[in-house]
Amino acid sequence: MRVLTGNDLKTGDVVWWTGETWSRHVDEAVDAGERAEEILAAEEAARRVNVPYVIEATREEDGSVRPAHIKDRIRALGPTVRPDLTLKPKDPEAIDWVI
Amino acid sequence: MYKYDNYDQQMVDARVEEFRDQARRRLEGKLTEDQFKPLRLMNGLYLQLHAYMLRVAIPYGTLNSEQMIALGDIADKYDRGYGHFTTRQNLQYNWIKLEDAADILADLAKVEMHAIQTSGNCIRNISSDHFAGAAHDELVDPRPYAELLRQWSSFHPEFTYLPRKFKIAVIAAEKDRAAMRLHDIGIQIVKNDAKDGGSEIGARFFVGGGMGRTPMVAPMIRDFVPLDQLITYAEACLRVYNRYGRRDNKYKARIKILVHELGKDEYTRQVEEEFAHLLKQGVEPPREELERIKPYFSDPAFEDGPKSVDRSDPDFAVWVDRNTHRHKHDSYVSAVISLKPVGGIPGDATGEQMRLMARLAKQYSFDELRIMHTQNVVLPHVKIGDLHALWTELEAAGLGSPNMDTIEDMIACPGLDYCSLANARSIPLAQRISERFDASGKTSKLGELKLKISGCINACGHHHAGHIGILGVDRKGVENYQLSLGGSEAEDVSLAKITGPGFTEDGVIEAVDTVTNVYLANKQGEERFLDTYRRIGMEPFKEALYG
Ligand code: HEM
Ligand code: SF4
């Protein structure tokens, strides 16, 4: 699937396009398909996201979304060396998902 | 410590207000990211993997307690409680919000700090010897000259849009503790024999060093520039570069490529020509300016005291041996606070640790701290008689690792955990290697061994200059690591050579262990890893690695 991501303009947080808005949680990302570029342009112009781009990802059987590249998986979770600062500070296996 | 004059403070304050307005316009949508990006970069604000990142300049790595406290408070108030000290003696915050950036710059300005010229194609923070003004082996304190260069290079209209970023280091000892010859310009303050039989102090210029994708050691282009022509000569070096440096290709735009392509002799000839021309134009700041700066760096009021420590506590004795450096006053030493706890993140310090280091500096080191390019902190002037008390406090705070210049004192760049340019993570390697070598007790057997890790070819982690270097590469979307051996950024400078095919994360950690075994098996006398490598060459290491 083609997933849209970028950073929040004000906070810099990593965000994902949910079909309606931008979420911090990659699992809420949707397939933007053919419309990816069009959505990016409109959202960026409306300042709802900063430096957005399209990535490849897959939806897993449990419904979660897995970006194809490790860099975007680290963006989705947080630094692997600071589990306490990731989006899943209580999940010791979260880091394994990145790698 | 240098104090801002009115001009400095006004410039910095004005920049804060200017940036506040720019950030507001960006948030209101009056500026696009394309318009805003160069403006935020001029103020050290990058966009990285997880947030905005702010790089704060620490001129020649020197700061006082008040400044360190401010850095710690910013970490707690605006970031997530920590900051990262870099190889260019700066500090980076990883979790900055655009909404807060102007307030942070205002907080910095209150303690005479800023983030100006920490990004972009300008002259960056001038770096120097972290033991400057304290080391037993220095000719003079290099920092007044670094400060003179800082003033000259700050807001210099001609050098605000260079072909590429530009880095200068200044030292004044034979020992190079600032990777001087791996800078665009490296300056060594030296003494020569003057004609009248006395001696004279001047500057030796090395131009065209650097790391990145094309690492180069700067050749010497002038062995003596009189001090009252220092700025003029630096200006001549930059002018020739600014005129001929390639702007069409970012990878060829560094001065090292120009010096290499023109050849050292031709580059030097052009610099000398420009220099002769500039001498007539009076670009040198008046001598009084240097004389005005100097007293800010004069010695604190040293007192005589004990000249040795009580070594009955073995842990303390190890720390003293490893982490202190001989001072020019025999009752003092410079003490290195390691930011490399076993399994920790090299160069990271929490807000609380920063405030503690500030308090210790006030109590034990005349209110002064230094940042080392190896991502540690120095208290430059500690009484030998106070060392035990200092060490006790450091130990209690987890800052007492006795590992300076050992394999556990590695440099590691932020890598893929934080950096948007990275190919692979660097920090986890650093953590695993320090844990492994600490657990096996091998660290002390290995003695001085400089390990340096970068997450991509930009080489922020100085891997080219590591006795052992590791470079992260992307192999079809999977992290992979190249190993190299034989680099040095000290006075015996050299560039490391790649051993051969790369390794996985587990593989490269094994490989580091393997090459250290080759060293231990071949070591003669007092040889360091680097000495043994230089004597026996790459083959035995290759053989052990790839068989
Ligand atoms: C995470 C943010 C960072 C970014 C985006 C970044 C970017 C870069 C880039 C693009 C280069 C190559 C420049 C060139 O060859 O012209 C470079 C080089 C360098 N950076 Fe960084 N860097 C970052 C962090 C750091 C840190 C944390 C350190 C210190 C630990 C550092 C120290 C250096 C040094 C020493 C060089 C080599 C300069 C040379 O080529 O001579 N950087 N950086
Ligand atoms: S070496 Fe590469 S990965 Fe490491 S900080 Fe520099 S740009 Fe980022």
Residue B171 DSSP class: E
Give the domains, in start order, of chain B with CATH numbers: 6-109 (3.90.480.20), 134-294 (3.30.413.10), 314-396 (3.30.70.3340), 411-546 (3.30.413.10)
**Ligand 2 centre distance from Cα of residue A64 (Å):** 30
Q: pLDDT for B442-496, tens place per residue?
A: 999 999 999 999 999 999 999 999 999 999 999 988 999 999 999 999 999 999 9
Confidence (pLDDT) at B539: 98
Decide if A21 is inside a domain. yes
CB B334 within 8 A of CB B379: yes
Confidence (pLDDT) at B55: 93
> Which ligand is located closest to the Cα atom of residue B464?
1
Cβ contacts of B5 within 8 Å, gap of 6 or more = none
Q: Do A7 and B29 touch (CB under 8 A)?
A: no
**What's the token pair of residue B510?**
């094994």
**Chain A residues contacting B via beta carbons under 8 Å:** 7, 9-14, 44, 47, 50-51, 68-71, 74-75, 78-82, 85
Decide if A99 is inside a domain. no
Nearest to B345 among A68, A74, A81 (CB): A81
Our count of domains for chain A comes to: 1
Confidence (pLDDT) at B528: 98
| Chain B residue with the nearest C-alpha to that of A14 | B50
Backbone phi, psi, residue B112, to 5°: 60, 45
Decide if A55 is inside a domain. yes
Q: B 60-89 residues with CB below 8 A of A?
A: 80
Q: pLDDT for B339-376, tens place per residue?
A: 999 999 999 999 999 999 999 999 999 999 999 999 99
Query: What span, in angstroms and rounded, lies between the C-alpha atoms of B23 and B267?
Result: 42
Q: Candidates B413, B425, B453, B462: which one to mutate for ligand 2, based on the most atoms within 8 Å of Cβ? A: B413
Nearest to B417 among A13, A68, A81 (CB): A81
CB B222 within 8 A of CB B204: yes
For residue B121 and ligand 1, the question of a CB distance below 6 A is answered with: no
Decide if A78 is inside a domain. yes
Partners of B321 in the β-ladder: none
CB B425 within 8 A of CB B455: yes
Nearest Cα residue to atom 32 of ligand 1: B460
- A19 pLDDT exceeds 80? yes
Decide if A94 is inside a domain. no
Confidence (pLDDT) at B6: 83
What are the chain B neighbours of A51 within 8 Å (beta carbons)? Answer: 33, 47
For residue B211 and ligand 1, the question of a CB distance below 6 A is answered with: yes
Counting as low any pLDDT under 50, the low residues of chain B are none
Query: What span, in angstroms and rounded, lies between the C-alpha atoms of B427 and B409?
Result: 13
The pTM assigned to this predicted structure is 0.94
Q: How far is A87 from chain B (nearest CA, A)?
A: 11
Q: Do A80 and B417 touch (CB under 8 A)?
A: yes
Decide if B31 touches A, using CB distance below 8 A. Answer: no
Helices B505-522, B539-546: axis angle to 10 degrees equals 140
- Chain centroid to Cα B451, Å, comes to 15
Q: Candidates B183, B372, B458, B495: which one to mutate for ligand 1, based on the most atoms within 8 Å of Cβ? A: B458
Nearest to B417 among A7, A44, A74 (CB): A74
CB B150 within 8 A of CB B126: yes
Confidence (pLDDT) at B293: 92
What are the chain B neighbours of A70 within 8 Å (beta carbons)? Answer: 416, 477-479
Query: What span, in angstroms and rounded, lies between the C-alpha atoms of B433 and B163?
Result: 38
Confidence (pLDDT) at B158: 83
Decide if A37 is inside a domain. yes
Nearest Cα residue to atom 10 of ligand 1: B458
> Which ligand is located closest to the Cα atom of residue B94?
1
**Ligand 1 centre distance from Cα of residue B523 (Å):** 34
Q: Do B50 and A79 touch (CB under 8 A)?
A: yes
Quick one: which of B393, B364, B389 has its CA closest to B378? B364
User: Amino acid identity, residue B403?
Assistant: N
Decide if A74 is inside a domain. yes
Cβ contacts of B79 within 8 Å, gap of 6 or more = B93, B94, B95, B96
What are the chain B neighbours of A79 within 8 Å (beta carbons)? Answer: 49-50, 94, 417-418
**What's the token pair of residue B455?**
């997450």
Q: How far is B89 from chain A (nearest CA, A)?
A: 22
Range of the domain at A9: 2-85
Q: Candidates B460, B464, B489, B495: which one to mutate for ligand 1, based on the most atoms within 8 Å of Cβ? A: B460
What are the chain B neighbours of A41 within 8 Å (beta carbons)? Answer: none
For residue B355 and ligand 1, the question of a CB distance below 6 A is answered with: no
**Ligand 2 centre distance from Cα of residue B104 (Å):** 24
Q: Do A7 and B51 touch (CB under 8 A)?
A: yes
Cβ contacts of B73 within 8 Å, gap of 6 or more = B107, B351, B355
| Chain B residue with the nearest C-alpha to that of A95 | B417
Query: What span, in angstroms and rounded, lies between the C-alpha atoms of B196 and B54?
Result: 51
Decide if B425 touches A, using CB distance below 8 A. Answer: yes
Partners of B383 in the β-ladder: B332
Q: How far is A3 from chain B (nearest CA, A)?
A: 17
- Helix (H) and strand (E) counts in chain A: 3, 5
- Report the greatest alpha carbon distance in chain A: 39
Decide if A76 is inside a domain. yes
Query: What span, in angstroms and rounded, lies between the C-alpha atoms of B190 and B203?
Result: 6
Confidence (pLDDT) at B8: 85
By the 10 Å C-beta count (0-12 exposed, 13-18 middle, 19+ buried), B439 is classed as exposed
Q: B 439-498 residues with CB below 8 A of A?
A: 477-479
Residue list, ligand 2 pocket, CB within 6 Å: B 413-415, 419, 421-422, 454-456, 458-461
Query: What span, in angstroms and rounded, lies between the C-alpha atoms of A50 and B357?
Result: 37
Q: Do A13 and B51 touch (CB under 8 A)?
A: yes
Confidence (pLDDT) at B366: 97
